[in-house]
Amino acid sequence: MAGPKVCVVGSSNLDMNSYVDRFPVPGETVHGRRFTTGYGGKGANQAVTAARLGGSVTLVTRIGRDLFGRDMVGHFRREGIDTRHVTTTDETATGVAVITVDAAGRNHIVVTPGANGALTVRDVEEARPAIGAAGVLVCQQEVPRETNLAAMRIAHRAGVPVVFNPAPAGDALPDEMYPLCTVLCPNEHEAALLTGRPAGSRAEAETAAAAFLARGVGSVVITLGERGCLLATADQVLALPAPVVEAVDTTGAGDAFVGSLAFFLARGDDLAEAAWRATRIAAVSVRFPGTQTSFPRAADLPPDVLR
């Protein structure tokens, strides 16, 4: 039986992970303790999370016609993701992310978009049936903005809820984008950049959330790392704490949250319930190294998270 339908429009990268005792300062070289490669990109990460929870997931993404890209398609298929809208380009290589993780589990990430920058409005138009049939559409900011807007417009017209993760945050979002967001899901740093005000404390996060609601979004979920998340709608503001865990690697935790949130919303959970469950799953992911390698499968989770 098919699970909740989630369509993700977004990026796919090869992750290159170096583990160090501490981050180097500018001009310094430090020795790494370990090096690994893995699959990443915010779009792919969120798609894999939803698929591992039991979702019926379609990914709309672009890869290079290279070894990394060919390997990635096989990986998506093994994860049970529909790859009909995974397209290739000869113009540039598959996207990569260079990730450094210190002994405290914190990370520095440099992303080279590559083929992700070649995902076009036409690619999204060709995926219109998949978007329209989804229970939730998920977008982020590692593909061109006009591509995201095209996908969000299609979903909005079809009555499909949109979860928009404005990561990585850069320039201000166009005014049109906010009303297309059923759920805007930034972290505290992205919320601060987009509103021009701090969002670290609960009071600051509430103020940032109110600013987003005033711009027309349906609801806001601001993730706060080890402190959980803050949910805000026109009717309520709710703080959801995260379980206390020992973090090994926080890379990808935000994507685990967004992918989980989309899965539970597509399943029919209300926003507060979906956000609570997503917080639990993100907390599981930080206990393990890597990005997608840290994302749990449904069978790995306590029964109360999925029931």
Residue 125 lies in a domain: yes
Residue 233 lies in a domain: yes
Q: Nearest to residue 63, comparing CAs of 149, 143, 137, 139?
A: 143
- Residue 53 to residue 305: CA distance in whole angstroms: 10
Which distant-in-sequence residues (6+ apart) come within 8 Å of 299 by Cβ? none
Residue 25 lies in a domain: no
CA 70, CA 94: separation in Å to the nearest integer?
A: 10
**CATH no. for residue 274?**
3.40.1190.20
Report the number of distinct structural domains present in the chain.
1
pLDDT, tens digit only, all 307 positions of the chain: 589 999 999 999 998 889 999 999 999 999 999 998 889 999 999 999 999 999 999 999 999 999 999 999 999 999 999 999 999 999 999 999 898 989 988 889 888 899 999 999 999 999 999 999 999 999 999 999 999 999 999 999 999 999 999 999 888 999 999 999 999 999 999 999 999 999 989 999 999 999 999 999 999 999 999 999 999 999 999 999 998 898 888 889 999 999 999 999 999 999 999 999 999 999 999 999 888 999 999 998 988 898 8
Return the residue matching tokens 């805007």.
Answer: 184
Task: Tell me how far apart the alpha carbons of residues 39 and 307 are, in angstroms, rounded to a whole number.
Answer: 29
pLDDT for the residue numbered 250: 85
Q: Considering the domain boundaries, does residue 304 fall inside one?
A: no
Instruction: Name residue, tokens 């992700």.
Output: 116
- Positive or negative torsion for Cα 166, 251, 266, 2: positive
Judge residue 15's burial from the number of C-beta atoms within 10 Å of its C-beta, 0-12 exposed, 13-18 middle, 19 or more buried.
buried
* pLDDT for the residue 208: 97
Q: Per the domain annotation, does 20 fall within a domain?
A: no
d(CA 157, CA 173): 20
d(CA 7, CA 272): 21
Query: Exposure pattern of 101-134 as b/e (b: 16+ CB <10 Å)?
Result: beeebebebebebbbbbbbbeebbeebeebbeeb
Count of other CB atoms within 10 angstroms of residue 169: 17
Residue 212 CA, chain-centre distance (Å), reads 19
Residues 6+ apart with CB under 8 A from 208: 191, 192, 194, 195, 197, 199, 222
Is position 15 annotated as part of the catalytic site? no
Domain limits for position 173: 5-11+41-94+116-294
- b/e code 36-61 from CB counts within 10 Å (16+ = b): eebbbbbbbbbbbbbbbbbbbbbbbb
Residue 54 lies in a domain: yes
Would residue 111 count as lying in a domain?
no
Give me the catalytic one of 255, 269, 270, 300. Answer: 255
**For the chain, what's the residue count?**
307
Answer whether residue 102 is part of any domain.
no
Q: In sequence order, what DSSP letters do the residues of 28-71 get, joined into one string?
A: ----EEEEEEEEE-HHHHHHHHHHHTT-EEEEEEEEESSHHHHH
